[in-house]
């Protein structure tokens, strides 16, 4: 049983759930309902007037003046979204890093992990899989087997060339229509049920790759129990009586209109069947996530039917669920997942509350004055080497790292009270950033493409591999995060420049930070950030069998941290609040799923993986990989480095667990014995060592003869000299928000 967080929950399954006021002293056991639930409420046939056809949008006030837009271009490498989205959705920017992205790329027939099921749509049918895991010491992935495949027995529109259409989507859901089959699927993340609306008196076919051992209807014929020879038990519920017949591997129905819900019975455990019965009559059709208050995220589901709503929470949800929220946690009702056990939560809305994270220009604890001379000495050398004419790269990623590196020097100069170098840094930043903003940079530049709605680079508009795939929306928050950091610092030290280029700066930020949903936006809502998983995805418009992925959590943290810094520079409190909130969630997710601690329970089934790894290389929706895009699993110094860079004040919050830093360094150090290890990667390892051993790390850093292109000796010395006397243990982000001591 997962440990309850700051509360115990009173659960009586035979009665309606009450709103919680104060945590009861002891939980009560779940008892089955005294009688079967009433049937599901039928849904009207699909039609343009049906309330499920379109998700309601919140329309916000739009400023009178149009925001700045970079020059428009027709990209030759962007895929066409029109085959998969309903026409009304094509008038607004579209998601490019979504949890359902595979459904709208190429043939749309690669699976997506919509917890707790892997779901695949192809050939006018939809298959669902309750996946098992394949485990090694290097990677974990979930195996897709089409346990059940749902389709119409006879296609109503055999000439239709579309496999499916996305008719609506939101942060927490996507609605998938099969136009040739009169089927609409409400794919809501975390629902233990797959919900399908059937219209037009359609005869259904449900097939399986397994053998059906038993098939049992209820007396009302609104519930069927299906037992398969792989040990699985599935439950099928309907809103009205349905006649189903079966053979060894298929189930067929008479003509039917209404709602069908299908759920796996976890571990074929009969205790859970009464819970699924109880909540089978209330179904969500969509869900929204709202950043309603500082460091508070609220989920709200649109539901139909009767009774209370049952959803599933992943481990990070459970940690963040507010103690005063009106939900009930079913601690023993669990589904397996690569993300850790999914636990039942009853309630129409959730509130997730995070500890506040302070966004600071400089180190949290400060640098002691006796350390200034060594930092100033390195600072003078690093500033002397700044020369904008010597920059040879035109890559948006590497260029961004170089200008952010220079911006770090300015802030360190402020912190150690050596302002003499600021004019040189300011000139360098103006000379290097301005051409990207005014369109005069000869080798590359930012442009706007309108099919999906977002920025591409000039190189990326004709070559999908250029700029690490920026032109197909890969790694946007990584690249733009570095630019925003440099822009924020330059706007701070040169307010006149900041005012002049504020429209362009905000356009870069809005590409991945837009919150609005209205059709007049130039960019989709939170391009990279996943408000259900609570972290970002990086992979853009590229189809992958394992779904979206992200390699560097620290660069993702940098993106939102930098956006918050830009808010500080411009006095924009809303941007500060949003950036710091997203950074806080990204940090929590990194610590939950990328940082692998000894004895960790997140990957409980993968003992070999947990024993052999301290950080995940690339985290996929459906896989955990010890390898990197650019390095094999054995190059542990690269794995550590890509989860650390760039070294910033926010890094202290990301690696606030001193014991984990020890484990990580101990795990990585043997890799330095390999021939050819880069000095730049060593610098990040020594930075982590400095968290608990300042003197030892300092000695090693002084001996380095090279640094990552986004790092410098000045920055490493600043990091080591700003380490305090660290306490062992794991601390929450609120530790670094001093005002929290005065908030009760």
* Side-chain half-sphere exposure of 620, counting CA atoms within 13 A: 22
C-alpha–C-alpha distance, residues 147 and 128, integer Å: 6
Q: Give Cα separations from 188 to 29, 246, 259, 292 (angstroms).
A: 28, 28, 15, 21
Q: Please state, as a whole number, how many other Cβ atoms lie within 10 Å of the Cβ of residue 495.
A: 12
C-alpha–C-alpha distance, residues 605 and 268, integer Å: 19
Structure tokens belonging to residue 620: 């996929």
Name the one residue in this structure whose structure tokens are 């730049």: 680
Asked whether 202 and 181 are in contact (CB, 8 A), the reply is yes
Asked whether 244 and 251 are in contact (CB, 8 A), the reply is yes
Structure tokens belonging to residue 244: 């189903």
Please provide the size of the chain in residues: 744
The phi, psi pair for 473, rounded to 5°, reads 70, 30
Give the burial string for 162-197 (b: 16+ CB within 10 Å, else e): ebbbbbbbbbbbbbbbbbbbbbbbbbbbbbbbbbbb
Which helix (H) or strand (E) is 292 found in, with range?
Answer: strand 282-293
Asked whether 389 and 426 are in contact (CB, 8 A), the reply is no
Q: Please state, as a whole number, how many other Cβ atoms lie within 10 Å of the Cβ of residue 602.
A: 20
540: closest CA among 469, 461, 474? 474
- So which residues are the catalytic ones? 475, 551, 555
Q: Which residues contact 131 (CB under 8 A, 6 or more apart)?
A: 113, 117, 118, 142, 143, 144, 145, 338, 622
């Amino acid at each position: 049983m997962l440990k309850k967080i700051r509360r115990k929950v009173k659960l009586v399954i035979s009665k309606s759930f009450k709103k919680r006021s104060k945590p009861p002293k002891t939980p009560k056991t779940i008892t089955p309902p005294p009688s079967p639930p009433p049937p599901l409420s039928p849904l009207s046939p699909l039609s343009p007037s049906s309330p499920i056809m379109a998700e309601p949008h919140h329309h916000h006030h739009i400023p009178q003046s149009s925001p700045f837009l970079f020059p428009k271009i027709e990209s030759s490498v962007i895929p066409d979204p029109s085959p998969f989205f309903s026409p009304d959705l094509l008038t607004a920017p579209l998601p490019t890093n979504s949890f359902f992205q595979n459904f709208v790329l190429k043939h749309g027939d690669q699976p997506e992990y919509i917890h707790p099921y892997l779901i695949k749509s192809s050939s006018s049918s939809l298959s669902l899989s309750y996946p098992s895991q394949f485990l090694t010491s290097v990677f974990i992935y979930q195996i897709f087997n089409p346990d059940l495949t749902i389709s119409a027995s006879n296609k109503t529109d055999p000439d239709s060339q579309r496999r499916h259409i996305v008719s609506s989507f939101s942060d927490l859901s996507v609605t998938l229509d099969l136009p040739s089959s009169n089927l609409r699927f409400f794919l809501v993340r975390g629902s233990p049920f797959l919900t399908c609306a059937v219209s037009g008196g359609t005869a259904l076919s449900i097939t399986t790759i397994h053998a059906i051992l038993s098939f049992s209807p209820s007396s009302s014929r609104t519930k069927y129990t299906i037992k398969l020879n792989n040990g699985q038990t599935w439950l099928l519920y309907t809103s009205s009586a349905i006649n189903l017949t079966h053979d060894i591997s298929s189930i067929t129905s008479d003509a039917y209109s209404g709602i069908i819900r299908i759920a796996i019975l976890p571990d074929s455990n009969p205790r859970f069947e009464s819970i699924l019965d109880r909540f089978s009559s209330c179904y969500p059709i969509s869900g929204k996530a709202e950043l309603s208050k500082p460091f508070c995220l609220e989920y709200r589901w649109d539901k139909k039917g009767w009774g209370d709503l049952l959803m599933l929470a992943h481990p990070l949800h459970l940690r963040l669920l507010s103690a005063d929220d009106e939900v009930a946690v079913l601690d023993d009702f669990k589904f397996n997942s690569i993300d850790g056990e999914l636990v039942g939560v009853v309630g129409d809305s959730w509130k997730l509350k995070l500890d506040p994270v302070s966004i600071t220009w400089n180190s949290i604890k400060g640098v002691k004055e006796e350390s200034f001379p060594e930092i100033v000495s390195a600072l003078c050398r690093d500033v002397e080497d700044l020369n904008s004419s010597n920059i040879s790269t035109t890559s948006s990623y590497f260029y961004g790292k170089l200008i952010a590196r220079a911006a770090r020097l300015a802030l360190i100069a402020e912190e150690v009270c050596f302002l003499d170098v600021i004019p040189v840094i300011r000139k360098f930043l103006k000379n290097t950033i301005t051409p990207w903003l005014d369109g005069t940079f000869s080798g590359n530049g930012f442009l706007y493409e309108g099919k999906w709605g977002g920025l591409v680079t000039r190189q990326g508009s004709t070559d999908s591999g250029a700029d690490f795939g920026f032109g197909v929306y890969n790694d946007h928050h990584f690249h733009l995060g570095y630019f925003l950091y440099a822009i924020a610092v330059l706007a701070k030290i040169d307010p006149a420049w900041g005012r002049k280029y504020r429209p362009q700066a905000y356009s870069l930020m809005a590409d991945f930070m837009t919150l609005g949903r209205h059709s007049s936006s130039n960019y989709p809502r939170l391009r990279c950030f996943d408000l259900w998983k609570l972290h970002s995805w990086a992979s853009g418009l590229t189809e992958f069998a394992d779904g979206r992925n992200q390699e560097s959590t620290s660069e993702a943290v940098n993106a939102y941290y930098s956006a918050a810094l830009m808010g500080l520079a411009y006095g924009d409190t809303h941007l500060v609040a949003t950036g710091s909130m997203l950074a806080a969630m990204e940090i929590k997710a990194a610590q939950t799923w990328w940082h692998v601690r000894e004895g960790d329970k997140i990957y409980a089934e993968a003992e070999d993986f947990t024993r052999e790894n301290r950080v995940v290389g690339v985290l996929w929706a459906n896989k955990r990989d010890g390898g990197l895009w650019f390095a094999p699993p054995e190059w542990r110094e690269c794995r550590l480095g890509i989860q650390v860079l760039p070294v910033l004040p926010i890094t202290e919050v990301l690696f606030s667990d001193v014991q984990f830093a020890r484990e990580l360094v101990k795990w990585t150090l043997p890799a330095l014995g390999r021939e050819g290890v880069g000095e730049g990667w060593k610098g990040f390892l020594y930075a982590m060592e400095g968290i608990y051993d300042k003197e030892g790390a300092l000695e090693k850093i002084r001996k380095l003869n090279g640094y990552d292109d986004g790092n410098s000796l000045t920055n490493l010395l600043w990091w080591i000299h700003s380490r305090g006397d660290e306490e062992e243990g794991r601390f929450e982000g609120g530790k670094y928000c001093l005002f929290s001591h005065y908030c009760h």
